[in-house]
Amino acid sequence: MDWDQELDARGLLCPLPVLKARKRLQGMDRGEVLRMVATDPAAVIDVPHFCGEAGHELVGSADEGEAQVYLIRKG
């Protein structure tokens, strides 16, 4: 899947990955996709929760080495 912007949140711990994603998504247009790469173990819980609360769509997630990749479509 293609994405419009990418956020490298590797090495950041909760709540920073979600806070940085929120800030990046604010500057994006509705329907655009943010690819976020994170290594925070809590992100597997935090990112889906954030998407549900903020009205964004978690399009997909996958492991990429020691990191997790999240594709978030701005709602």
| Average pLDDT of span 6-12 | 98
Output the CA angle 61-75-50, nearest 5 degrees.
55
Single out the catalytic residue among 12, 14, 59, 71.
Answer: 14
Domain encompassing residue 57: 5-73
Active site residue 51: no
Q: Any idea what the CATH number is for the domain that residue 10 is in?
A: 3.30.110.40
Q: Calculate the average pLDDT of the chain.
A: 97
- Domain count for the chain, please give it: 1
Among 73, 50, 49, 70, smallest CA distance to 60 is for 70
Q: What angle do CA 36, 21, 45 make, to 5 degrees?
A: 75
**Entry pTM:** 0.96
Q: What is the pLDDT of residues 21-55, one digit of tens each?
A: 999 999 999 999 999 999 999 999 999 999 999 99
Q: Please determine, for residue 1, whether its predicted confidence score (pLDDT) is greater than 90.
A: no
